[in-house]
Amino acid sequence: MELIASGLTRRFLRHSGESNAFEAVRPADLTLRSGEMTVLTGRSGSGKTTLLTMLAGLLRPSGGSVTLDSRDLYRLSDAELSGLRAKHFAVIPQGASAISSLTVMENILFPTALAGKKPPVSEAEALMERLGILNLRNVMPGELSGGELRRMAVTRALAGSPDFVFADEPTADLDDGNTVLVLTLLREAAQNGASVFVVTHEKDAAAYADRLLHMDAGNLTNV
Amino acid sequence: MTPHKLPLRNLLRRPGRTAALTVLVVFLALSLFAGSVIVMSLNSGLGSLENRLGADLIVVPATARGKVDPEKIWLQGTTGYYYMSASKLEEIRGMQGVAQASAQVYLASLRADCCSMPIQVIGFDPETDFTIRPWIGERLKADLGPLEVVVGSRVSAGVNETIRIYGESCLVIARLAPTGTGLDTAVYCTMDTMAALLQAARDLNHELKIDGDPARVVSAIYVKAVPGEADRLETAIRQTRNPKVTVIRARTVTSDVERSLGGVAHTITVLIVCVWILALILLTAAFLLLGGERRREFAALRALGMSRGGLAGIALKEALLVSLFGGLIGIGLALLFLLPFSGLIESALGLPFLQPGWQTMLILAAGTLLAVCAAGSMASVFSARRLSRVDISTIMREGA
Amino acid sequence: MKKRDIAFGLIVGILGLVLAVGAQTFARPCVHADGSAAVCATVKTWLTVEGGLIAVLSGLSMIRPNAVTQGIAAAGGLLAALTPGLLIPICKSDMMACQRVTRPTALVIGILVGIVSLWWLALTLTAKRREARS
C-alpha cells in the first residue's frame, strides 16, 4: 500500500483578512510505503503536525492531493473517508485523546470496534505487557498519569495492526526507557508491514528511521 | 465494547450531568402528562354529568336553595334534603309539552359510624325514571327490592354488605360505575325503600320538615320536554303555586361547569406551555454548554476514525436516552401523584373529575414519551451539529 | 462523605421528614368535630415514627454508607406506604381526610423512599463489590 501526497499545501489565516494568511505547509511531495518508518523532525511551528494531520485524512489541504491506492482521500465523502481511516489508519495525537467513559482496555480496543474488526485482545495484552500498563486494563483514563496515557495511545494505535501509523510526538511525557521502548515498537510495526510516519523532536528517533525528513517554515526536505 | 454502547456509557460515567439533564426532561414529561390527564378527566367528568342529569328541566321546591344548592348535590356530593308534595309531579305531568317526568326523593343520612361522612340517599321511581335507571342498568339487571340499595362508586360499602341508615339495614346489591361527579357518593333506592327510611328518620326524631305521609313527598322532578317546548314549559312550571318551585335548566348546570372547566383547562394549558418553553430553552442551553466541555473527546473519536454522522449520532442518542429515561420518570411521578390524589384534586377543583381508563392513560403516556423524545432530540440538535464539526486540532496539538 | 451519598441521603431524609411532619399537619388523619380522634388516629403516630426513622437512617447512611441501614430505610418506606388502610385500618368513607390525603401521602412518599433507598443500596453494594475485586 502506498500513500502519495503531491503538491500538498496548507494556508491558514492567523486573524481575519487576506494579508495575515501564511503557508504552514508549502507544496510538499511525499510517498509513504508499507514496511517503512519515516521520521520527520523540525522546529516548533514548522508545519510538521499540519502535514501529519493532512496525510492522516484529518485536515483538508488548501492545495494538492493525498491518494491511497489511487483514491484521493479528500474527494471521498466524510463517511467514506472516516471508514477508510478507521480501517487503514491509526493516529497517536500529541494531545490527550482518551475516551473518558471507557476503561483503558476498552479505549485500546475501540478503534477496531469502530472499523468492525475482531477485537485484538491478545495483541493488545502483549503490547500493554511490554509497555507496563497491563495492570491498568480496567482503570479509567481519568486516573492515569500523562506517561500512562501516552503509552495507552501507543498501544491503541498498534494493537489493530494498521496499514499506516501516524505518530505525533509519541515519546512526549515518557522517560528514557519508555522512549526507547515506544520507538522500538514503532520500528517493529514497520518491520511487520505497516508504514509508520513519526513526527518528533527526539534526536534518537533518527536511528530507528528508514527515511529521515526535515521541515523548516513549511518546506519539506529529505535529510 | 461496541461504539453503539458509547452513548449509554457516557451518560452513566457522568451521573451529575445526566441527572441535571434528566431533571429538566422530567419537568417536561410531568407537566405534559399530568396536565393532559387532568384536562381529560375534567372533560370526561362534564360528559358524564351531562349524561347523568339527562333531563331538560329539574324542578325543586323554591325553599331548596335556602337549604342546600341542588347543584352542589350533583357536582360535589354535598348532602341535602327538601320536600314538596307528590301532587306536584301529577300537576307537571299534566302540563302541555311534557314528554316524560319522574320524581326523586332526597335524604341525608346521619354519620353512620365514627369514620364516615353523611351520605346522600336518592329514591327514584323505577317505573317512570329515565335518568338513573339507564345508569344503574349497566350494573344491575334485576329490579331493586325493599331495603335494597345501589351505591355510587365512592361509597365505602361492597356488594352484599349492609349499610345502616337511620337504624334500617339496607343491602347493597350493586356498585355503580364512577361518574366523577357528586352522584358517586350517593346511595340509590326505590321510592318504597325511601318511604321506609323517611319514616325511620322521623321515628328517630330527625327533623325532616315533612307534613303528612312521607310516602307522598318528592324532592326533585326531572322533566324531559317535547322537542322545542322546553322554554315555554319552563315558564309555565315557574308560574305554578302550592308550593312555589325553582326550575333548573340542566343545560345551565352543565354550561356553568363547562365555563369553569374552560378556565381551569386554559390555566393548565398556559402552565404547560410556560414549563415547556422554559425547559426547552434550559435543555438546549445545557446541551450546548455541556457539549462545549466535550470537544476534546469528540475530536479524539474523530481521530480514531468516527465520521461526522457518527459523532452527531452519539450526541443525539445521548439526548434520546436522557429523554426516554426522564420521560418515563416524569410519567411515573405523574401517575404516582394523580392516581392516589384524584379525590383531593376533585375536591380542590370542585368540578366533575373522571379519570380516563388505563388504555387512554397508556396512549397519553406513549404520546408524552414521543413528544419528550422529540423535544430532547431537537434541543440537542445544535449541540450535536457543533460537536460533529469539532476542530480536530484540539487534540492534535498539546494544550490546544 | 461522597457527593452521591449526600444526594441520596438528603432526598431520603427530606422525604422521611415530610412524612413525619405531614402526618401531624397537612396530611393528618380525620378528627371529629368534637375534637376526639377517629379510628385512624393511630396511623398518625405510626407514620410519624416511620418518617422519623427513615430520616435518622438516611442521616446515618449519609455519614457512613451502609447497606443494612439503607435496606431498613427502603423497608420503612414500603411499610409507610402500606400503613394506612392495609396495616392499620382507616376511615372507610372515600370522603374522609385520611382517605383523601393521609393515605395517598403515605403511599407516594413511601414508594419514593422505597425506590430511592433501593437504588442507593444497589449503588453501595456495587461499589463494595468493585472494591473487593480490586
Q: What would the pLDDT profile of B76-90 be if each residue is shown by its tens digit? A: 667 778 888 888 999
Q: Are residues B337 and B275 in the same domain?
A: yes
> Rounded CA gap, B379 and B7, in Å?
17
pLDDT digits (tens, 9 = 90+) for A11-24: 987 765 556 778 89
Residue-wise pLDDT tens digits, C15-66: 999 999 999 998 888 766 555 566 677 888 999 999 999 999 999 999 888 8
Q: Which residues from chain C sit within 8 angstroms of residue B330, using beta carbons? A: none
Sequence-ordered strand ranges (E) for chain B: 57-61, 84-85, 98-108, 120-124, 148-151, 162-165, 168-175, 186-190, 217-218, 220-225, 245-249
Closest CA to B154 of B182, B126, B135, B193: B182
3-state secondary structure chain C: CCHHHHHHHHHHHHHHHHHHHHHHCCCCCCECCCCCECCCHHHHHHHHHHHHHHHHHHHHHHHCCCHHHHHHHHHHHHHHHHCECCCECCCCCCCCHHHHHHHHHHHHHHHHHHHHHHHHHHHHHHHHHHHHHC
State whether B93 and B188 are in the same domain: yes
Q: Which residues pair with B248 in a beta bridge?
A: B58
Residue B114 has pLDDT above 60, yes or no: no
CA distance B195 to B243: 21
Number of domains observed in the structure of chain C: 1
C-alpha cell read off for B300:
479524539
Confirm whether B252 is domain-assigned. no
pLDDT, greater one: A223 or A160: A160
Instruction: Read off the pLDDT of each residue in C109-126 and give the average, rounded to a whole number.
Output: 94
Question: Hey, is the C-beta of A208 within 8 angstroms of any chain B C-beta?
Answer: no
Chain B residue numbers touching C39 (CB-CB < 8 A) = 114-115
pLDDT at C128 over 90: no
Does residue B400 carry a pLDDT above 50?
Answer: no
- If pLDDT is split at 50, 70 and 90, which confidence band does B131 have? confident
Q: Which chains touch B (3 or more CB pairs under 8 A)?
A: A, C
Q: End-to-end distance of chain A based on CA atoms, in angstroms?
A: 24
Give the per-residue pLDDT at A2: 92
β B148-151/B120-124 pair status? unpaired
* Alpha-carbon span B108 to A204, nearest angstrom: 103
Tell me whether residues C96 and B341 touch, CB distance under 8 A: no
- Residue of B300, B309, B396 lying closest to A79 (CB–CB): B309
Q: Between C133 and A9, name the one with better pLDDT.
A: A9
Alpha carbon separation from B304 to A120, A167, B393 (Å, rounded): 16, 13, 13
Residue C12 has pLDDT above 80, yes or no: yes
pLDDT per position as a tens digit, B177-201: 888 877 888 899 999 999 999 888 8
pLDDT on residue C100 = 85
Enumerate the residues of chain B whose CB falls inside 8 A of the CB of residue A10.
none
Contacts of C105 (CB under 8 A, 6+ apart): C19, C22, C23, C26, C27
Q: Looking at A24-38, B45-59, B184-198, B366-380, which range is the least confident one? A: B45-59
Considering chain A, what percentage of its residues have pLDDT values greater than 90? 81
Domain housing B43: 3-48+257-396
B vs C: CB pairs below 8 A: 54
Which of the listed residues B243, B269, B295 is the one where a domain comes to its end?
Answer: B243
Domain contains B56: no
Q: Which residues pair with B164 in a beta bridge?
A: B169
- Statement: residue A128 has pLDDT above 70: yes
If you search the block for the grid coordinates 402552565, which residue do you land on? Answer: B271
Share of chain B above pLDDT 70, in %: 94
Closest CA to A6 of A71, A67, A51, A81: A67
Question: Based on the domain organization, do B329 and B375 belong to the same domain?
Answer: yes
Q: Least CB-CB distance to C93: which of B15, B156, B340?
A: B156
Longest dimension (CA), chain A: 54
* pLDDT tens digits along C90-117: 877 777 788 889 999 999 999 999 999 9
Mean pLDDT (chain C, rounded)? 88
pLDDT score at A153: 95
Counting the structural domains of chain B, the total is 2
Nearest-angstrom CA–CA distance, B141 and B133: 10
Are B103 and B155 within one domain? yes
Sort out which chain A residues have CB atoms less than 8 A from B395's CB and list them: 93-97
Question: Dihedral through CA B151, CA B154, CA B157, CA B163, nearest 10?
Answer: -60
Contacting residues of B for C108, CB less than 8 Å apart? 336-337, 340-341
Nearest Cα of chain B lies from the Cα of A51 at a distance, in angstroms, of: 11
Give the model's pLDDT for residue A135. 95
3-state SS record for chain A:
CEEEEEEEEEEEECCCCHHHEEEEEEEEEEEEECCCEEEEEECCCCCHHHHHHHHCCCCCCCEEEEEECCEEHHHCCHHHHHHHHHHHEEEECCCCCCCCCCCHHHHHHHHHHHCCCCCCHHHHHHHHHHHCCHHHCCCCHHHCCHHHHHHHHHHHHHHCCCCEEEEECCCCCCCHHHHHHHHHHHHHHHHCCCEEEEECCCHHHHHHCCEEEEEECCEEEEC
Question: Looking at the domain assignment, is residue C87 inside a domain?
Answer: yes
Residue B57 lies in a domain: no
Q: Which one of B200, B217, B243 terminates a domain?
A: B243
d(CA B332, CA C132): 35
Task: For chain C, list the contacting chains (3+ Cβ pairs, <8 Å).
Answer: B
CA–CA gap between residue B159 and residue A3 (Å, rounded): 87
* B81 and B219 Cβ atoms separated by less than 8 Å: yes
Report yes or no: A21 and A34 within 8 Å, Cβ to Cβ.
no
Strands A195-199 and A37-42: parallel
pLDDT reported for residue C77: 95
Torsion sign, CA atoms A194, A198, A204, A207: positive
> The C-alpha cell of B119 is what?
351520605
Write out pLDDT tens, residues B322-368: 999 999 999 999 999 999 998 888 878 878 888 888 999 999 999 99
Residue A27's identity, in one-letter code, is P
Q: For residue B250, tell me if it sits in a domain.
A: no
The per-residue pLDDT for B203 is: 85
pLDDT score, position B53: 74
- Nearest Cα neighbor of B344 from C112, C103, C51 is C103
- Across all residues in chain A, what is the average pLDDT? 92
Q: State the smallest CA–CA distance between residue B97 and chain C in angstroms.
A: 40
On the question of pLDDT at A141 being above 90, the answer is yes
Burial label for A132, CB within 10 Å (0-12, 13-18, 19+), is middle
Residue ranges making up the domain that contains C76: 3-128
pLDDT(A201) > 80: yes
User: Dihedrals φ, ψ of A2, to 5°?
Assistant: -130, 135
pLDDT at site C129:
86
Residue B365 counted as domain residue:
yes
| B310 in reach of chain A (CB within 8 A) | yes
Which is more confident, B25 or B143?
B25
Asked whether C112 and B336 are in contact (CB, 8 A), the reply is yes
Q: How far is B117 from chain C (nearest CA, A)?
A: 7
Residues B92 and B239 in one domain: yes
| Per-residue pLDDT at B344 | 86
Residue type, C86: L
Q: What is the pTM of this model?
A: 0.80
How does residue B26 score in pLDDT terms, banded at 50, 70 and 90? very high
d(CA A43, CA A48): 9
Is C93–B341 a contact, with Cβ atoms under 8 angstroms apart? no
Q: Is residue B316 domain-shared with residue B229, that is, in the same domain?
A: no
For residue C134, being part of any structural domain is answered with: no
B93 and B23 together in one domain: no
User: Cβ of A169 and B398 within 8 Å?
Assistant: yes
Report the pLDDT value the prediction gives residue B377, as an integer from 0 to 100: 92
Is the same domain home to B261 and B225?
A: no
* Segment B206-224 mean pLDDT: 82
Which residues in B lie closer than 8 A to residue A56 (C-beta atoms)?
303
Phi-psi region of B158 (alpha: psi -120 to 50; beta: other; left: phi over 0): beta
Of B243, B278, B298, which residue is a domain's last?
A: B243
- pLDDT at residue C132 above 90? no
Q: What is the mean pLDDT of residues B32-49?
A: 88
Q: Quick one: B161 and B226 in the same domain?
A: yes
> What are B289-305's pLDDT values in tens digits?
888 778 888 999 998 99
Residue C89's closest chain B neighbor by CA?
A: B115
C-alpha cell at B173: 346489591
- B214 in the same domain as B74: yes
Residue A66: beta bridge partners?
A5
- For residues B388 and B309, state if they share a domain: yes
Let me know if residue C84 belongs to a domain. Answer: yes
Q: In this structure, is residue C90 part of a structural domain?
A: yes
| A94/B3 CB distance under 8 A | no
Is the Cβ of A89 closer than 8 Å to some Cβ of chain B? yes
For chain B, list residues whose CB is within 8 angstroms of any CB belonging to chain C: 15-16, 77, 114-117, 119, 154-157, 185, 336-337, 340-341, 343-344, 347
Q: CA geometry: angle at A16 spanning A75 and A23, to 5°? A: 55
Nearest to B330 by CA among B17, B14, B34, B15: B34
Structural domain includes residue B7: yes
Q: Nearest CA to CA, how far is C104 from chain B (Å)?
A: 5
B398 has pLDDT over 60: no
Q: How far is CA C10 from CA C14, C61, C66, in A?
A: 6, 10, 15
Residues B337 and B34 sit within 8 Å (Cβ to Cβ)? yes
Closest residue to C91, CB basis, from B115, B119, B347: B115
Measured distance CA(B299)–CA(B105) in Å, rounded? 80
Distance (Å) from the C-alpha of residue C60 to the closest C-alpha of chain B?
Answer: 23
- What is the structure's pLDDT at B158? 82
Q: Give chain A's domains with CATH numbers.
A: 34-59+75-222 (3.40.50.300)
CA proximity to B91, closest of B224, B191, B240: B240
Mean pLDDT value of segment A34-63 = 94
Mean pLDDT of B14-22: 90
**Which residues 340-399 on chain B approach chain A with CB closer than 8 angstroms?**
392-399
B54 within domain boundaries: no
Query: How many percent of chain B have pLDDT more than 90?
Result: 35
The predicted pLDDT at position B141 comes to 67
Beta strands in B176-284 (DSSP E): 186-190, 217-218, 220-225, 245-249
User: Looking at residue C38, what is its pLDDT?
Assistant: 63
Q: Cell 475530536 belongs to which residue? A: B299
- Asked if residue B265 has pLDDT above 90, the reply is no
Alpha carbon of B11: minimum distance to chain C alpha carbons (Å):
15
CB neighbours of A141 closer than 8 A, spacing ≥ 6? A98, A99, A100, A102, A104, A107, A149, A152
Q: What is the mean pLDDT of residues A143-151?
A: 93
Dist CA A213 CA A14 (whole Å): 26
Q: Which of B115, B337, B344 sits opposite C93 (nearest CB)?
A: B115
Give tens-digit pLDDT for A69-80: 889 999 999 999
Between the CA atoms of A161, A163, A166 and A170, what dihedral angle is there, to the nearest 10 degrees?
20
Task: Kindly determine whether residue B304 and residue A83, on different chains, have CB atoms separated by under 8 Å.
Answer: no
Q: Do A86 and B305 touch (CB under 8 A)?
A: yes
pLDDT value for C32: 61
In this complex, how many residue pairs, one in chain A and one in chain B, have their CB atoms less than 8 Å apart?
96
Encode A192-221: b = buried (16+ Cβ within 10 Å), e = exposed: eebbbbbbbebeebeebbebbbbbeebebe
Determine, for residues B185 and C95 on separate chains, whether the beta-carbon distance falls below 8 Å.
yes
Quick one: pLDDT at residue C31?
A: 67
Same structural domain, B262 and B320: yes
In chain B, residues with a C-beta closer than 8 Å to the C-beta of C2 are none
pLDDT at residue number A158: 96
Instruction: Tell me if residue B304 falls in helix, strand or coil.
Output: coil
Distance from CA of B328 to the nearest CA of A (A): 25
Instruction: Give partners of A (≥3 CB pairs < 8 A).
Output: B
Query: For strand B217-218 and strand B84-85, is the pairing parallel, antiparallel, or unpaired?
Result: antiparallel
Tell me: pLDDT of A150 over 90: yes
Alpha carbon B359 to its chain's center: 15
If you search the block for the grid coordinates 476534546, which residue do you land on? B296
Is A76 in the B-facing interface, judged by CB distances under 8 Å? no
Contacts of B18 in chain A (CB under 8 A): none
**Residue A94 pLDDT exceeds 80:** yes
